Amino acid sequence: MSHEAILSSPPVSLTERAARHIVEILRDEPQSMLRVAVTGGGCSGFQYDFSLEKTRADDDLVLTKYGAVVLIDSISLGFLNGAEIDFVDEMIGAAFKIKNPNATASCGCGTSFSI
């Protein structure tokens, strides 16, 4: 059973800026969704992984906003509960940024964290 994020307060939030950027990225990828996952590795122990998917798994949390669809598997959700997915465009570059209240430390690049 899919965990559709139509709740008033989903366990992970998606900013408007991130949603609109996802829609732009997927414009040339019909039927695709953005998968956000947590994997082992990186300089702090865990790292965020972003990939394009065409299918949902039964245990995925599905976030939808402004036409963007984000998938998070149930294992990664345990590490991302309460997090916010944003998109930032800074002098050092543009990237998705996850504000994760579960992370006790993160690396300088922002893609690796520890809990």
Domain boundaries, the chain: 3-114
Distance separating alpha carbons of residues 32 and 34, to the nearest angstrom: 7
On average, the pLDDT of the chain sits at 84
pLDDT in tens, 62-92: 999 999 999 999 999 999 999 999 999 877 7
Higher-pLDDT residue of 12 and 111 is 12
State pTM to two decimals. Answer: 0.80
CATH architecture of structural domain 3-114 = Sandwich (2.60)
